[in-house]
């Protein structure tokens, strides 16, 4: 059994996330395709649906799509239910699934800086071609709704007067910089989703999560938050490779997924919604200090190498306005202190 399922804190967080989602009854007996099912957000969503089945008898069938069946089996090791079906496949190719599904959730994408540097083409294509393939699947199989998991990075660099990004803001992105493969791909995919909605009548809705973290992060994730948590897990001091002055909105994965389901069930068609907890706005250095505090370590500075400099985001301030999703009745339950504490408890730090 995967170690996450042995954690009482992890189980309690799933139950709390369930309570944050209204109208679960809309999902009773439905089927959901989750692309990116082994990722941070996708895997938690799978776990949440399965928890709902167990606790509330919702009888949701989950099609978990990933590129590697072994990784799927490893991530959901110990789960025994007919309601979880593994689908191995690359979203850039035609989907090997003939079943009709009620909902499609597209959360498959490279999401860590190393991939942006090493595989910018694949990163861009998973968000453009991959989105096209999944939209086609949704159209052909008459899905009730398509949820695209975009990113707060689509806002680019704000001006000095912009304190937080609302959904109608659009900042500067240097399209000639390969690292822009990620935000540019996300922007293009959002337009593609809305174009499909207009031309083919497919009901689409878009989510823009901020920086999300949690205990189920991938071993390949090299974002700063993941590196800090991994330092703590290894009993090391927390290594900061910059002054850490960049301001960010952060979101614990349980909050992020409950927000995604709120958008899936109650978001307006062809609208985008930020996902952010207004009680989790802090600098990268402040996040590092919290990890250090809860793990009994200290923060140390290390000069960044060329690779770290190439992977660094040019965005100095990325704070998302959460009022639109809060108008749907969603409220974040995990300020940064609580989310980091739970992450480390689940990982037995």
Is 70 within the bounds of a domain? yes
**Average per-residue pLDDT for the chain:** 93
- 13: which 2 tokens? 């967080």
Is 48 within the bounds of a domain? yes
Token pair 């948590």 in the structure block, residue: 229
Is 284 within the bounds of a domain? no
Average pLDDT over residues 217-238: 90
Q: For the CA atoms of the chain, what is the radius of gyration? A: 19
Its domain, for residue 101, covers: 3-212+251-278+319-334
Token pair 């079943």 in the structure block, residue: 99
Contact 318, 247 (CB under 8 A): yes
Report pLDDT for 311: 52
- End-to-end Cα spacing for the chain: 20
260 vs 159 pLDDT, higher one: 260
Is 231 within the bounds of a domain? no
Is 346 within the bounds of a domain? no
Q: How many domains does the chain have?
A: 1
Q: What is the pLDDT of residues 262-286, one digit of tens each?
A: 999 999 999 999 999 999 999 999 9
Is 244 within the bounds of a domain? no
Average pLDDT over residues 328-333: 96
Is 302 within the bounds of a domain? no
Q: What is the pLDDT of residues 69-121, one digit of tens each?
A: 999 999 999 898 999 999 999 999 988 899 999 999 999 998 778 888 889 99
Sign (positive or negative) of CA dihedral 120, 124, 129, 135 = positive
CATH number for the domain harbouring residue 267: 3.40.50.720
The total of other beta-carbon atoms located within 10 Å of residue 330's CB is 23
Is 55 within the bounds of a domain? yes
Cα gap 232→77, rounded to integer Å: 25
Contact 282, 242 (CB under 8 A): no
Total-model pTM: 0.95
């Amino acid at each position: 059994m995967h170690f996450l399922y042995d954690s009482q804190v992890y189980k309690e967080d799933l139950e709390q996330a369930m309570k944050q989602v209204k109208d679960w009854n809309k999902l009773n007996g439905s089927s959901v395709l989750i692309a990116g099912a082994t990722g941070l957000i996708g895997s938690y969503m799978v776990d949440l649906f399965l928890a709902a089945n167990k606790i509330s008898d919702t009888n949701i069938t989950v099609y978990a799509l990933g590129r590697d069946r072994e990784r799927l089996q490893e991530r959901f090791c110990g789960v025994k239910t007919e309601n979880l079906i593994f689908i191995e496949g690359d979203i850039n190719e035609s989907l090997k699934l003939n079943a009709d599904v009620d909902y499609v959730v597209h959360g498959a994408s490279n999401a860590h800086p190393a991939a942006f540097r090493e595989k910018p083409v694949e990163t861009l294509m998973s968000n453009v071609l991959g989105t096209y393939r999944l939209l086609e699947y949704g159209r052909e199989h008459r899905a009730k709704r398509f949820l695209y998991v975009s990113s707060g990075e689509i806002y680019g660099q704000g001006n000095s007067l912009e304190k937080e990004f609302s959904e109608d803001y659009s900042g500067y992105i240097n399209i000639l910089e390969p690292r822009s493969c990620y935000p540019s791909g996300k922007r293009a995919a959002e337009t593609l989703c809305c174009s499909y909605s207009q031309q083919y009548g497919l009901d689409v809705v878009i989510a823009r999560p901020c920086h999300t973290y949690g205990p189920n992060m991938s071993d390949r994730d090299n974002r700063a938050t993941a590196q800090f948590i991994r330092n703590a897990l290894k009993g090391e001091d927390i290594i900061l490779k910059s002054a850490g002055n960049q301001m960010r909105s952060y979101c614990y994965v349980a909050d992020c997924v409950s927000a995604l389901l709120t958008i899936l069930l109650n978001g307006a068609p062809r609208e985008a919604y930020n996902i952010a907890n207004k009680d989790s706005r802090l600098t990268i250095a402040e996040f590092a200090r919290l990890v250090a505090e809860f793990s009994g370590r200290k923060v140390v500075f290390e000069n960044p190498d060329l690779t770290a400099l190439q992977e660094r985001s040019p965005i100095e301030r990325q704070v998302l306005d959460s009022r639109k999703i809060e108008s749907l009745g969603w409220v974040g339950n995990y300020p940064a202190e609580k989310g980091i504490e739970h992450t480390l408890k689940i990982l037995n730090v």
